[in-house]
Amino acid sequence: MRTYNLFYRQAGDFERLVETKEIEDSENILIQVFTGITDTNHIREVQKEVKRCFSKAVLIGTTTGGEIYNGNVFEGSTVISVSVFERSRVKLALSEEKTSALMAEKLAQTLSERESKLTIVFADGLNSNGDDIVSAFNRICPNVPLVGGLAGDGFSFKGTFTFTTDEILPHGGVGVAILSKELYITKHYNLAWIPIGKEMKVTRAEGNRLYEIEGKSAVEIYKEYLGSAAQELLPHIAIEFPLVFERDGILIARACLGIDKDGAMIYEGAFKPGEKVRFSIWDTGIMLESTAQALKKFRSSPSETIFVYTCAARKYLMGREVEVETKHLQNIAPTSGFLTYGEFYNFGNKNGFLNYTLTAVSLSENRESRAVLTEELGEEKNREPIRFRALVSLVNSITQELVRANRELKQLAERDPLTGLYNRRKIVELLEEEISRAERYARPFSLILADVDNFKSINDMYGHQTGDEVLKEIAHLLQRELREADALARWGGEEFIVLMRETNLTEGMFVGQKIKNAIRDHFQDKYDERISLSIGVTSFREGDTVNSIIRRADMAMYFAKQRGKDTVMSY
């Protein structure tokens, strides 16, 4: 195969390329157009010129956040890449569906063929959900790598376009499948962001709309961690400190596009409630190391052309440094591509949607590598990256220490130091939550209050240390007999309390009998004084408060004592 890259300046440039290189019309030709000019009149001029030269070749194009021509990165220009395959065929698909899932499903169904070796998709950059797109391709074309990305518009966020030879789509997307019996594909991606600080749970998100982290608004979280002035700089400051998280073992970053009127922060990709996110910062050292790995990989593999689809946010942050990677790739094979609003990438057994990442794919129809050996990236140690990583390590170490300290403080605040069970304060908190739940959803729950019979005699006869061991033993036995859904606490002294969710009074009495028998049988003949439990059981009633339900359980326990101990009573 051969690839010719053209920096398109004016009408006639493409026709001259075709004439000079003597490119003959064929369905084996893939033309990719990357333009930073979002004027549809300009796109139509390019389409007309391509149609004058070819009727069989396949064209897919996109507006961009930047264009890559022979390893150099430009803005507001048009780059045309012409790949002429010798033994491969190119199949086109397009969809004007406005919902990402339907659009992707239509593209994937059209492009799904047995001989498909690679799919390239360009989709609307402002309304598409990249995760929906990769989900459809993973389902319909599970064994075919997906590359490409979301269209850009130079960060104006006014409108993006994808197009073919005949169509210009303000919504939807276009794609191609490369069909071949012999096509060698090598992939590489580079995410040079280091997670920093503590993990935070996403508590409310709808697709790519992030509302809450740790129960606070996403905007408030940025303000809390980056300073009160950060709110005035949003969403731009969010681009410099992206949120990262792990999904399927892969570290993924998310780029913020803006903030909606309802307070949602809108990102290029989706978040899932429950995912743990962290802030991150850029590391030039990691970028250079990853670039060196890519060069070694592509040099040792067949590479006749390289397509790069990389996040536009990288140029926003890196400036001209963004060319370091692509210029070195150009030394291996003709390199072209565009700066995306989110890029697709294949991780071997699954496609994913990324942000802030450079993705590169090299293609070859020949087994032997044609790569020209070039100088390696310099490995001289730079003091600044070393200092930077040392600072990151210091911050993360301090964060881990604080997380451990907070965990220990929480343990002290919630747990009884002797038995390790919940303490009085925590069980009251859980009771308040369960009462609210019972009132809202009309769900039952029951409460057990148990007192150790003859405990004072154990202390007097064997000493307080033995008494403490008895309490710990009882705590262990109760935990063993109860469900995971039940909450067990030391109420005070020799009293224990059990909150049993989704349990009515009859069921609560059954549990009371079970734990009474377990304690009696375990301590049978172990001490001169008989150790047993007097147990009171009650269940939630409409209008209950924490005090009222505990008071009834205490009364039931008092009745059990009056009945001769080692007894279960309800009230």
List active site positions: 494
Burial 139-171 (b: 16+ CB within 10 A, else e): ebbeebbbbbbbbbbbbeeebbbbbbbeeebbb
Distance CA 175, CA 59 (A): 9
Which amino acid makes up residue 182? E
Q: To which H or E segment does residue 506 belong?
A: helix 505-522
Among all chains, which residue has been given the structure tokens 């319909």? 140
In the chain the first and final C-alpha atoms are separated, in Å, by 85
Strands across the sheet containing 67-69: 72-74, 67-69, 335-340, 305-311, 358-364, 184-190
Tell me which residue of 36, 31, 27, 66 sits closest to 47, measured CA to CA.
31
Distance CA 287, CA 137 (A): 29
Q: What are phi and psi of 52, to 5 degrees?
A: -70, -25
Q: To which H or E segment does residue 101 belong?
A: helix 100-111
Token pair recorded at residue 54: 């070819």
Q: Are 467 and 524 in contact (CB under 8 A)?
A: no
Q: To which H or E segment does residue 384 belong?
A: helix 383-414
Strands across the sheet containing 78-84: 2-8, 78-84, 29-35, 58-63, 162-163, 168-169
Residues 6+ apart with CB under 8 A from 516: 532, 533, 535, 566, 567, 568
| Measured CA distances, 475 to 241, 486, 560 (Å) | 47, 13, 20
CA angle centred on 526, ends 522 and 529, rounded to 5°: 110
Q: What are phi and psi of 2, to 5 degrees?
A: -135, 145
Distance CA 192, CA 199 (A): 19
Q: Are 311 and 338 in contact (CB under 8 A)?
A: no
